[in-house]
């Protein structure tokens, strides 16, 4: 697959995820209409749709099928709802205080910071409504057990010992300057960013029938990709531009954040991202199925300029 074919296929998969999100988002109506509208505004703001695409591609590796059953689509929507909620809360004045995301006003700037809090809360709750709602009407014990296991994994990776734990450490690291160590930073990157990418790979694998050894390999791939992805994000906050990124650059320095770049410099940060990427590629080769698209997706994410 060449770059042009990959980009065309990626566009197609992004469009498919958009369709899944539109089918699963609740209709904005009733006295709670505003929070439902803010959920929709947050989720349909565009983006790479990285996590649901990784989840569905991981499922295909192990199931041997390109067809996505309802429970896989439901988990794909759920993980994007969780990702969207995390961005809504990250942008709030009490967190990163960002006014733009993906080239438009952030949710709190449109609906107010109070409604921004509620929009994030609602998206998180609705993610698990969506994921476990897929079990309704399913009689097959194996499918049901996979849904429960996948749901527990998604909850763990997005919770206090996963993404939220990383956000906590990130928030408390602000203003500490030289007191922040590389170990602290790797904990933040592993939990705040990598955990949800790990979840995408592992949930897809669980639903597709991966065994325990394969799930551990998926976890390691997700960890490498997530950390490298965040290192690239740190680099782009220094060398990128607002027009390409769709959000303000230089916010890390403005918020007095220690990043991989501030500790290691751009050159060493680039080298580390590349090393993590290569290890992830080698691990991916050990798994079954057609991995060409997933491999190119990983390369594109870690080497991205926007």
Rounded distance, CA 54 to CA 32, Å?
Answer: 32
Per-residue pLDDT, 254: 55
Per-residue pLDDT, 208: 98
Per-residue pLDDT, 306: 47
- Would you give the DSSP letter of residue 99? S
> What residue ranges define each of the domains in the chain, with the CATH number in brackets?
3-302 (1.10.600.10)
Give the count of alpha carbons within 13 A of 56, CB side only.
25
Chunked in runs of 10, what are the mean pLDDT values of the chain (306 residues)? 92 97 96 98 92 97 95 98 97 92 93 97 98 93 97 98 95 82 93 96 98 98 95 84 48 65 90 92 94 91 65
Per-residue pLDDT, 86: 97
User: What 3-state DSSP class applies to 159?
Assistant: coil
Per-residue pLDDT, 304: 58
Which tokens sit at 77?
């929507």
């Amino acid at each position: 697959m060449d770059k042009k074919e990959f980009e065309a296929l990626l566009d197609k998969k992004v469009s498919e995820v958009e369709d899944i999100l539109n089918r699963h988002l609740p209709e904005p109506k009733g006295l709670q209409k505003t929070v439902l509208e803010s959920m929709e505004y947050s989720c349909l703001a565009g983006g790479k749709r990285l996590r649901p695409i990784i989840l569905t591609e991981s499922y295909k590796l192990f199931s041997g099928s390109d067809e996505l059953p309802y429970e896989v689509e439901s988990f794909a929507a759920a993980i994007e709802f969780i990702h969207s909620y995390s961005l809504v809360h990250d942008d709030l004045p009490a967190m990163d205080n960002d006014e733009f995301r993906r080239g438009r006003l952030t949710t709190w700037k449109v609906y107010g910071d109070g409604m921004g809090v509620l929009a994030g809360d609602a998206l998180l709750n609705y993610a698990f409504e969506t994921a476990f709602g897929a079990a309704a009407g399913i009689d097959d014990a194996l499918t049901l057990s996979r849904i429960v296991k996948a749901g527990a994994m998604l909850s763990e990776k997005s919770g206090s010992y996963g993404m939220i734990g990383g956000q906590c450490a990130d928030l408390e690291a602000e203003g500490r300057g030289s007191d922040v160590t590389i170990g602290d930073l790797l904990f933040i990157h592993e939990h705040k960013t990598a955990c949800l990418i790990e979840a995408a790979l592992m949930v897809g694998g669980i639903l597709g029938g991966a065994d325990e050894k394969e799930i551990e390999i998926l976890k390691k791939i997700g960890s490498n990709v997530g950390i490298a992805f965040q290192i690239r994000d740190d680099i782009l906050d220094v060398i990128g531009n607002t027009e390409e990124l769709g959000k303000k650059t230089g916010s890390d320095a403005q918020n007095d954040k220690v990043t991989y770049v501030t500790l290691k410099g751009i050159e060493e940060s680039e080298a580390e991202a590349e090393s993590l990427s290569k290890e992830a590629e080698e691990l991916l080769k050990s798994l079954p199925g057609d991995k060409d698209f997933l491999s190119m997706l990983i390369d594109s994410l870690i080497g991205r300029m926007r």
